Amino acid sequence: MAVLVDKNTRVLVQGITGREGEFHTRQMLEYGTQIVAGVTPGKGGQEVLGVPVFDTVKQAVQATGADASVIFVPAPFAADAVLEAADAGVRVVVCITEGIPVQDTVKAVALVRQKGVRLIGPNCPGIITAGQCKIGILPGNIFTPGPVGLVSRSGTLTYEIVDLLTKAGLGQSTCIGIGGDPVLGSTFVDLLPLFEEDPDTQAVVLVGEIGGSDEEIAAEYIRTMHKPVIGFISGRTAPPGKRMGHAGAIISGRTGTPQAKVDALRSAGVPVADALYEIPDLVKQALASRT
């Protein structure tokens, strides 16, 4: 089993004929992901890398049975692409696009949740179930199958931590980059229950950053989990008032400070690494405690 996607997931690429869409379609195909369709309005009937292109998501789903979508559509049109995928019956939508207006995202998130569709992103690297399915822009070569799940607000930190885990002999089950925007399709507390229920996941690494309150909310849920969670909060050394890279990395009063997040996680029994290199040892200790 896995979280959200596996070797049987049938993926369509919205924006497949664009430069980024085609490049990452090639990477996903090489990883072994079942890319069954692409969608670009006005270019139906073409092929990209042997993948048939359709004018609409509905046509693509009807013809191929696609049940997941990844979006490489320019920001002004990306929210509509999310809604089109949800309306067509796609169950998992991964939106890579960054720079989507917040008002557009708020509307899209509300509507996809009403439909029971799982949205990952926007402004995220995607999701990978190691050795089975890669949807997005994650570098597949650093992932290896194993018992460690990972959910992260930072794409680059995901890559660094996974590389450290792999080199330490700690494979991964499913890794999800949720994105760094202020409004997200799926938050930590939305996804942690899926890892808790996944028999292939024995421990979870949660990677947060300054800004927002998602980590504090997640800490309350973690108190109810049976599987161990290891935490890392980036931005702890950022000077006060420093503008960070993610739109969601905004501190409001006492909410969103790195220390508040660390304190919340530790109060829930989560060991929080001070540096990335500490994470593999903390994971090993957590796994050993379950045996």
Residue 246 is among the residues annotated as catalytic for this protein: yes
Integer Cα distance of 105 and 101 in angstroms: 7
What is d(CA 48, CA 253) in angstroms, rounded to the nearest whole number?
Answer: 49
- Give the C-alpha separation, 171 to 169, whole Å: 6
- Three-state SS at 165: helix
Q: Which of 24, 118, 134, 246 is catalytic?
A: 246
Q: Which residues contact 280 (CB under 8 A, 6 or more apart)?
A: 164, 165, 167, 168, 170
Give the C-alpha separation, 276 to 156, whole Å.
12
Q: Which of 15, 145, 23 is nearest to 77 (CA)?
A: 15
What's the CA angle centered on 172, arms 78 and 96, to 5 degrees? 10
Q: Whose CA is closest to 83, among 106, 60, 63?
A: 106
User: Which has the closest alpha carbon to 73: 1, 134, 8, 122?
Assistant: 122
**Side chain identity at 75, as an amino acid letter?**
A
265 within 8 A of 217, measured Cβ to Cβ? no
Q: Which residue has the tokens 């999701």?
A: 127
Centre a 10 Å sphere on the Cβ of residue 60 and count the other Cβ atoms it contains: 27
Rg of the chain (C-alpha set): 18
> Catalytic site residues?
246
